[in-house]
Structure 1
Amino acid sequence: MTSRRRLTLLAVTIAAAPLILGGCTADRDAGAGSGKARPAPPELIVTPGDKTREVPVSAEVGTSVKGGRITAVRLTDDKGTPVKAEPREDGSAWVPNAPLQPKRTYTAEVTATGDHGATTTRTTTFTTMAKSSKPEITSTLYFVGNRTYGTAMPVTVAFDPGIPKEARADVQRRLFVKTSPPQPGAWSWLDDGSQVYYRAPDFWKPGTTISVRAGLQGLPIGKDRVGDAEHKATSTIGKQVSLEIDNATKQMTVLRDGKQVRRIPVSLGKSSTPSSSGKMVIMEKHERTTFDTRGEPNGGYVVDVDDAQRLTWGGEFIHSAPWSEGDQGYTNVSHGCANVSATAADWLMGVTQVGDLVTVKGTEVPLQAGNGWTAWNVSWDEYIKGSALPVPSGLRPAPVAPAHPGAVAGGSPAPAPSVSGR
């Protein structure tokens, strides 16, 4: 990558006293002996504090410097082996590239350099805790490595059970996304904490490389649970494809780079099992699969289908339905899916990608948040309200200027009322 943007996040707070030691070193001032004062060395605080024990394996080397900048960080284990780490964009911490090992001792040596060359170095040694016996929260990253995704692909992390509101900031700090070329985005949580999404204000640019890390292994989550695993993946964004389905016309419009390439008749959900209206994302593609709805309301059938593309967790797909071809374009007869002809379904499978946007409008029910990857089903202004951390200023919507007291429709000032002496 020519350039990588690290998601700006705050450092994980580690329950340990900060290290503040004497014995800093400073470059000798050229003016010493001539009455000139030596430059003051920078003030440096490092966490975990020296000799801290029971540190989580998700720990980071926290740094706080005043009057300078961090110029060197070296982290080694108890065998002297270097531990690779990367700085957070705000400089608040160095994050190991993998979880630390349980019941091991680590040493961090951090150097800060002041504006005039004086340096301060701090060294801290800490010991990690044993593998936690607390129950784990299961996490799933719905972003697989070495794939090509559509331009609406959100990075999605799911949790079971959901993350409580008071713990979401700590979890979000351990979710990292890098894009090349840079295209900043933000995280947003579902109300129940079962999923968190990452996307940019606009769709990904074709050709963008996205690298994701969910560094959750051993992370304390609330008082009673810990994170289960470390997830990493790097993939690429492919061509821009989107589908628009209009219940009024019973037609699907296929667009590539915003231009129509085909219209396909569809049959949507009948009144007793309506399709959802909203902005969805293709989640899975199957050349052949089995729908088994036994035990579900309005279900009870088992049927094999070809060329099926999932849109919701609730079971709405676009798929081949040769049995309804006479209704497609005219009448809704499905159980909520978008039925298309066998020929059209086969063609679509060669055109679409997981992560392509599918917009359905005009049906009886709205798409419910979390029923699929619903990150695009709200405006950007509404989406960023779901972040558990402050959203960078460049991604926040611009404040709306108050209207001029005399403004009229169209934004032009209205003439001020005249003052008459009569």
Structure 2
Amino acid sequence: MVGMRRSLVTAVVAAVIAPLALSACGDNKKPAAASFKEAPSASAEPSAPPTEAAAVPIELSVTPAAGKKNVPLSAELGLQVSGAKITSVTLTDGKGKAVPGKLRDDGSSWVPGRTLKPKQTYAASVVATSDSGLTKTVTTSFTTMGTPARKTGTGLYLFDNHTYGVAMPVVVEFNPGIKKADRAAVQKRMFVQTSPAQPGVWSWTSSGTQAYYRAKEYWTPGTTLTVRIAVGGVPTGGGRYGDRDRGATAKIGRDFRMTVDNKTKKMTVTQDGKVVRTAPVSLGRPSKPSVSGTLVVMDKLPQTVFDTTDTDGAAGYRTDIEFAQRITWSGQYIHSAPWSVGSQGRTNVSHGCVNVSPSNARWLFDKTLIGDPVTVKGTGVKADYGDGWTPWNLSWNEFVKGSALPVPEALG
């Protein structure tokens, strides 16, 4: 599915929700977060229309209506046309400066390339041209609302010009979460393009605090993801509006996967389909089991401190950790555990994390990318949906049920 977040494109992503308050071997603090066709140029308007009568009359209407006030800052130019095709769209601000934008694929509207400014009058001119060369021009002008007093915070977990693993979902967060009744309007403003094309679908968590975008299968290595989360000024429910637009262009790297089997206490690592390493592991002990499911590397910390005293009180601990790779928000990681080397491959002694030896931890840390998949099997405890980037924990049929918009038949 073609659509129009950490974008925190060149910096850290802001406005993310609080992590799940669950106890695990690591801390539960989150790291910072982070399709259109081109509209014809205004110069495409013919200098003089033909004089002969059109076989089919051109009908063209444009919204917002002329003189409309208090228009949302996310306003699109709604287009209805028959007997012709849209050949030019021009939108200018109060100073006469052109606003960039693109037509939706279905031609139903023209979407400005940036959030409109508050309390400003915009003028639009739309030209439709018939097959016989006749044209019709419709103009309108409208005034936007003031700066919204209440906003929904957003985050995009994607950085510009970064390379990610094949399981990297596009992850957008909302604070507070978006209620079901408001999700369709928000989702309509979340756009993803992939090259080569791999159509995907957005799916929401039950709380509405996260939305994931993925294709049926992992991304093809070398894919380019171009994302625009154009929710700045979009009504999000309860009198709130999206805080800002976010976007990023990123690439997918090689196919690197980790599979952890509780039965054998072993991790198997493949790259481009070939086994490149195996490593003994120790998983969560019975009282603090590791979770099973397909998870994703979300963060990498060469050195950190695991502090569970906030959640576990006197039973908690504070420990220096090396080569930590987060796979759940609730605090499960793959990390170096020199103290459990004797148990690795034999028995489970961790607080839920995947313990590996210092040498294996360093090797993995040097090889992995954010977005690489980690599949954990056989622990008897399934990962909670939303505790980490978990869209791969659902079958495709279940995943698409979370879309707030109809799913194209080819993807359903």
Pairing partner for 1:243 from 258, 262, 265: 258
SS of corresponding position for 1:296: helix
Contact 2:3 2:189 in 1 (8 A): no
| Contact persistence 1:243–1:358 (CA under 8 A) | yes
Superposed CA RMSD in Å reads 1.6
How far, CA to CA, are the matches of 1:78 and 1:115 in structure 2?
34
* 1:41 has 2:57 as partner: yes
CA contact (8 A) 2:115 2:244 kept: no
CA contact (8 A) 2:3 2:188 kept: no
- Residue of structure 2 equivalent to 1:372: 388
Other structure's SS at 1:365 match: coil
After TM superposition, give the deviation of residue 121 of structure 1 in Å: 1.1
Q: Does 1:208 align with 2:223?
A: yes
- Matching residue of 1:262: 277
2:174 equivalent among 132, 147, 159: 159
* 2:50 pairs with 1:27: yes
1:41 touches 1:120 (CA, 8 Å); kept in 2? no
For structure 1, list consecutive stretches of 5 or more residues without a partner in the other structure.
Answer: 11-24, 30-36, 397-422
Other-structure match for 1:7: 3
1:415 aligns with none
Residue 305 in structure 1 maps to residue 321 in structure 2: yes
Paired letter, 1:260: V
State whether structure 2 residue 186 is matched by structure 1 residue 192. Answer: no
Match of 1:146 in 2: 161
Deviations 1:131-157 (A, max 9, x none): 011x21111111111211000000000
- Comparing 248-257 and 66-75, the one that deviates more: 66-75
Structure 2 spans left out of the alignment, 5+ residues: 5-34, 37-47
Contact 1:26 1:41 survives alignment (8 Å): no
| Corresponding residue for residue 411 of structure 2 | 395
Matching of residue 335 in structure 1 with residue 351 in structure 2: yes
Partner in structure 2 of residue 63 of structure 1: 79
How far apart in 2 are the matches of 1:386 and 1:203? 19
How many matched pairs? 370
Counterpart pick for 1:347 among 350, 363, 366: 363
Q: Distance in 1 between matches of 2:57 and 2:132?
A: 9
Aligned partner of residue 292 in structure 2, secondary structure: strand
Which amino acid is 2:268 matched to? T
Q: Contact conserved, 1:254 with 1:262, CA < 8 A, in 2?
A: yes
Give CA deviations for 1:291-343 in whole Å, capped at 9, x if unaligned: 11013248511111000000000000000000000000000000000000000
Structure 1 equivalent of residue 241 of structure 2: 226
CA contact (8 A) 1:41 1:113 kept: no
2:130 counterpart of 1:106? no
Structure 1 Cα separation of the partners of residues 237 and 99 of structure 2: 27
The code of the aligned residue for 1:186 comes to V
One-letter identity of the residue aligned with 1:269: G
Q: Is the 8 A contact 1:244 1:359 kept in 2?
A: yes
| SS at structure 1 position matched to 2:110 | strand
- 8 Å Cα contact 1:113/1:120 also seen in 2: yes
Matching residue's letter, 1:276: V
Amino acid at match of 1:169: A
When the two structures are superposed, what TM-score results if normalisation uses the length of structure 1?
0.85
Structure 1 residue 253 corresponds to structure 2 residue 268: yes
Q: Does 1:125 align with 2:141?
A: yes
Is residue 105–residue 126 contact of structure 1 (8 Å, CA) maintained in 2?
yes
CA contact (8 A) 1:7 1:89 kept: no
The normalised TM-score by structure 2 is 0.87
- 1:26 is displaced (CA, Å) by 5.9
Whichever residue aligns with residue 264 of structure 2, its letter is T
1:174 to 168, 178, 189: 189
Any conservation in 2 of the 1:207–1:237 contact (CA below 8 Å)?
yes
Residue 41 of structure 2 corresponds to: none
- Cα shift at 1:86: 1.0
Q: Which has the higher contact order (CA 8 A, sep 6+)?
A: 2
CA distance in 2, matches of 1:231, 1:260: 38
Query: What residue identity is the alignment partner of 1:312?
Result: T
Q: What residue is the counterpart of 2:68 in the other structure?
A: 52
How far apart are the structure 2 equivalents of 1:227 and 1:390? Answer: 22
- TM-aligned CA deviation for residue 27 of structure 1: 2.9
Alpha-carbon distance in 2 for matches of 1:105, 1:359: 53
